Amino acid sequence: MYFCVLIHIKMKQQKDLIKSLILDFQKNLPLKIIPRNLALPIESGKIISVCGVRRCGKTFVLYDTINKLLKHKVRAENILFINFDDERIAFTEKNLDFIIQSYTELFPDIPFKEVFFFFDEIQMAQGWEQFVRRVYDKYSKNIFISGSNSKLLATEIATSLRGRTIPFEVFPLSFSEFCLFKDIDTNFYLQKNAAKLKNSFVEFNKYGGFPEVVLSGFKFYEKILQEYFHIMLYQDMVERYEIKNIAILKYYISRMLANLSKPTSVNKIYNEIKSAGIKCDKNLLYDYADMLESIYFLQRLCKHDSSVLKAELIKEKKAYFIDNGMINALNYSFTDDFGKQLENTIFLWLRRQSDFKRDIYFYKGKKECDFILFDRNKPVKLIQSCWSLSDPDTIKREIQGLTDAAKNLKCKDLTIVTSEEEDEIKAENFIIKVVPAWKLLLEKERTNTLSFSH
């Protein structure tokens, strides 16, 4: 009897806490935020999943969606927001249903089909898959979830929720968002803005786009980003994947950082470790690469091959990283290497426009080309990244890389992206556009539109 009373008291305490979380959040609506370019669809009939690296702004994308719901006359009482990373309550399979019970007790007259569920950092809850599926099947089609692990919300969630979800990715700030956060007018047709935008791009290319870093004016950016990395390393990787040999993991990361934008072979890194007399399973290094990609720390780019399957299996791949500021915070040798930083910036810009890394490759034949963009298996654009074309040897190298790829791939849309040069170059039978990165990123960045059907 005494034991049953204790269980009842604990259940009531947990439900009371959940009620407080729900009501406290509703009380503070609408939320004061800076909106991002990504707008999530509303009333899609699907579970909207939002994934991305830690601290990139996923929660604020959910906040922005909530604010838009309020503007469309959805009442605050119809918003149920739970942050599963809240240390005050540990959600498990046994108490997840308390969320439903608590909301019902608070608002018994609101039909669940009219409730919008927002579950932030859902991966922190044990048994979340079954819970979300049950909420979707039994209560409401208006469900938005976020998490920090791409595998959790790309492959695992697709399996667990069986076609019920539409995934969206969130990255650190794009350049246009960077300017918005710094209150910089992006209308570059006004001459007074152009110089400021050029200088801002230099900052963006060096410090990256993690919102906290940008809003702080880059104060202590190295310490902030090193702490982000520490959390990603130990919580997202070591704990989640139960990694034992942390020293080898750190060495692998340092080698990938050192080889930024260069074709890198896992086999070569394995031989380095082996030659140092350290025992290591080569397959473990391949696993580390997958893990680092799953938490969005880095992204690997395959070399193009006419066989798509062969391209995916090619061992030599390039590595790019989620943020330039983090690269500089972890490897000081890149602080003044504007060219490699620019290539990483261009990759991230392209990656935002290519859901889950589809249709981007690099070319390596007689010469090299940084990026090939495909549309329905057809090469449609070739891009070289180069900070400056002031050196004749640099111009020659970049042009040869483009024309070699263009002839082999039968592609005529050729571009060199620079820091600020703008020109048009005729080479052989091709016309190459030279465009400044700051202008290209502002002109071409995609903005998804909000859909709200009534």
Residue ranges of domains in the chain = 2-170, 191-444
What pLDDT digit, counting tens, does each position of 85-137 carry? 888 888 988 899 999 999 999 999 999 999 999 999 988 888 899 999 999 99
Task: Give the E-state strand segments of 227-277 in sequence order.
Answer: 263-265
What pLDDT digit, counting tens, does each position of 148-190 carry? 776 665 666 767 787 889 989 999 999 999 999 999 999 988 8
Residue 383: both structure tokens together = 């891009």
Is the predicted pLDDT of residue 9 greater than 80, yes or no? no
Residue 1: both structure tokens together = 């009897």
CB 165 within 8 A of CB 48: yes
> 189 exposed, middle or buried (CB, 10 Å; 0-12, 13-18, 19+)?
exposed
What's the CA gap between 249 and 295, in Å, rounded? 14
The per-residue DSSP string of 349-377 comes to HHHHTSGGGTTEEEEESSSEEEEEEEETT
Q: What is the pLDDT of residue 149?
A: 72
Residue 245: both structure tokens together = 């040999």
> In this structure, what DSSP letter does residue 17 have?
H
CATH, range 2-170 = 3.40.50.300
For residue 418, the SS3 value is strand
What's the CA gap between 182 and 178, in Å, rounded? 6
What's the CA gap between 56 and 60, in Å, rounded? 9
CB 72 within 8 A of CB 452: yes
In this structure, is the dihedral angle defined by the CA atoms of residues 20, 22, 28 and 32, taken in order, positive or negative?
Answer: positive
Amino acid identity for residue 205 in this structure: N
Where residue 32 falls among pLDDT bands split at 50, 70, 90?
A: very high
Residues paired with residue 384 on neighbouring β-strands, in sequence order = 416
